[in-house]
Structure 1
Amino acid sequence: MISFVTFVVKTNPMLVFPNAKINIGLNIVEKRPDGFHDISSCFYPVGWSDALEITISDRLHFTADGISIPGNTDDNLCIRAYHSVSADYDIPPVNIHLLKAIPIGAGLGGGSSDAAFTISALNQLFDLHISEEKQLDYARRLGSDCAFFILNRQKYCHGKGDQFENIDLDLAGKWIVMVNPGIHISTVEAYAGVKPNAPETDLRELLGKPISTWKNEVKNDFETSLFPKYPFLQEIKEDLYKKGASYAAMSGSGSTLYGIFEKEIDLSGQFQRYNIWQGMLN
């Protein structure tokens, strides 16, 4: 254990805004001996965010408002993130309060982002000087895509989704519309219908082409099995193209669909039954 007798509190409370991500292309390459799958994808951060407040307390406590979070509070990824850090650093108990706005089971990595932001917030709050690499290590223990949110910038991802390389892809200034139909698709359900297969063309090569070419070339392998099961997902994707999207796809293992546009669009009367977020990409 790395123990500090004293620590510096930078800000109390610490308030951060864990953001979502989208997958631009997602290939299920092969099943691993450990039961996980190797993938290739581009993770891109988006502005749809939760709010996370951490304050020093006399006991470790987690509370949440907003979207209901299933499961036992003690197993929440934010609490597990705290335990990962406190195992190595002598920090006091904290109260973690989460305002949950990113839909759950939506392919947006919201829970993973909350965990990663907990790690980085504790690092800042107590001035621990934890290196980026060590923060990545903590995050990888919590989930396959948690580590991305430590970096939180567009990356080509491979392995279980926890290995990263730089990618020359800049969508700054474009607009994104995200449509979540309110259904939870579990990872188990999503992977049950896929057949791993290495792509013929490297995703990085495809994403290096103009966005106008992506529609027929940049695929999310989960769409093949989930669209027949949930036809309204395909309908949402088609509607995004009808609204003028340069590219539209499902994010992760679903259920959120997104469209990338050249400018802000009027969504009056569109997708009224669903949860919608739109904003500019950075």
Structure 2
Amino acid sequence: MIVFPNCKINLGLHITRKRPDGFHDLETVFYPLPVNDALEIIAHPSLQFASSGIPVPGEAADNLCIRAFHLLQRDFPQVQPVNIHLHKHIPIGAGLGGGSADAAFMLRLLNQKFQLGLSDTVLADYAAQLGSDCPFFIYNRPCYATGRGEIMDPIDLDLSGYSFVLVHPGIHVNTGWAFKQLTPQAPAYALREKIQSPVATWRGLITNDFEAPVFSAYPVLAGIKEQLYAAGALYAAMSGSGSAVVGIFPKNKIADILWDASYRVFTIR
């Protein structure tokens, strides 16, 4: 069985308070985009994991796909060992949620293969144990997210009438460092209200709290954002804590941009 975990972007991101447990509350809008990994499982006498494409850091035993397997097997003994192959295409550490997508799609795969009959709500509860934004990929539709990012409320947001450019310059932004640069503050108006405005009005309205400190530390990211605007983007912003930057353009109206050869650039028309 094979599936193709997709990425997400953040449309707006506000850190609203630091919680007693040390985590932060936030608000954001998650939006899925078709930049995909490939994840395949087949029955095997023992649990195995291999990857190709972009190198996956860390030990195989710590991979989120393996952790997802053990999470379900703990409660459902009928989940038997599988051979897992992950082809990594979504940039790692880019704010695009690739690892979280792989984990969530692994849960969905196991649910289907072993006929566990788990609802999306139950799968999302398992996914939340693997990462704050993992539950989004169970629903995989535009959502307004609060809490640590795990509380999802689907919203009516259709951007199929636009084109997208995602640019990842290969910079890795440490998420822990990025959070330490912020002073949590609730915005005057909820992002859920702002996101209903026309896309052409989002510039300066839909903001990401991480941009100020991250752009200060990595000016090249601010330059990418400005290049996207200069090329005709209606809206451009960093996704998550970075370092991917996304531009939203009128449908099929993307000017040619000469990017650095080391950048990974994805165009979604």
TM-score surpassing 0.5?
Answer: yes
State the Cα deviation string for residues 102-133 of structure 1 (Å, max 9, x = none): 11110000000000000001111122211111
Q: CA deviation at 1:268?
A: 5.3
Whole-angstrom CA distance in 1 between matches of 2:174 and 2:82:
30
> Aligned with 1:21: secondary structure?
strand
Pairing 1:25–2:12 present = yes
Q: Which is worse superposed, 198-207 or 19-28?
A: 198-207
Q: State whether residues 47 and 279 of structure 1, in contact with CA within 8 Å, keep that contact through their aligned partners in structure 2.
A: yes
Match of 1:239 among 218, 224, 227: 227
Code of the residue aligned with 1:150 in structure 2: it is I
> Aligned with 2:75: secondary structure?
coil
Q: State whether residues 179 and 271 of structure 1, in contact with CA within 8 Å, keep that contact through their aligned partners in structure 2.
A: no
State the Cα deviation string for residues 236-280 of structure 1 (Å, max 9, x = none): 000000010010000001000000011222435334331001114
Could you say which residue in structure 2 is the equivalent of 1:278? Answer: 267
Whole-angstrom CA distance in 1 between matches of 2:202 and 2:56:
35
Q: CA deviation at 1:217?
A: 1.0
Could you say which residue in structure 2 is the equivalent of 1:6? Answer: none
Whole-angstrom CA distance in 1 between matches of 2:175 and 2:81:
32
Whole-angstrom CA distance in 2 between matches of 1:170 and 1:210:
11
Match of 1:206 among 184, 187, 194: 194
Could you say which residue in structure 2 is the equivalent of 1:188? Answer: 176
Code of the residue aligned with 2:93 in structure 1: it is G
Code of the residue aligned with 1:162 in structure 2: it is E
Q: CA deviation at 1:219?
A: 0.5
Residues 27-176 of structure 1 aligned to structure 2 (within 5 Å)? 27-89=14-76, 90-176=78-164
How many residues were matched structurally? Answer: 267
Whole-angstrom CA distance in 1 between matches of 2:44 and 2:225:
46
> Aligned with 1:81: secondary structure?
helix
The change in CA–CA distance for 1:217 and 1:266 in structure 2 (over 3 A counts) is closer
> Aligned with 1:215: secondary structure?
coil
Whole-angstrom CA distance in 2 between matches of 1:62 and 1:266:
41
The change in CA–CA distance for 1:268 and 1:245 in structure 2 (over 3 A counts) is closer
Which sections of structure 1, spanning at least 5 residues, go unmatched?
Answer: 1-13
> Aligned with 1:87: secondary structure?
helix
State the Cα deviation string for residues 67-88 of structure 1 (Å, max 9, x = none): 1111111010000000111112
Q: State whether residues 78 and 115 of structure 1, in contact with CA within 8 Å, keep that contact through their aligned partners in structure 2.
A: yes
Whole-angstrom CA distance in 2 between matches of 1:256 and 1:38:
22
Q: CA deviation at 1:168?
A: 2.6
State the Cα deviation string for residues 180-208 of structure 1 (Å, max 9, x = none): 00011121122121111100111111111
Q: State whether residues 170 and 262 of structure 2, in contact with CA within 8 Å, keep that contact through their aligned partners in structure 1.
A: no
Code of the residue aligned with 1:94 in structure 2: it is V
Q: Which is worse superposed, 223-232 or 121-130?
A: 121-130
State the Cα deviation string for residues 4-58 of structure 1 (Å, max 9, x = none): xxxxxxxxxx100000000000000011111111000000000111000111100
RMSD (Å), alpha carbons: 1.1
Whole-angstrom CA distance in 1 between matches of 2:150 and 2:119:
17
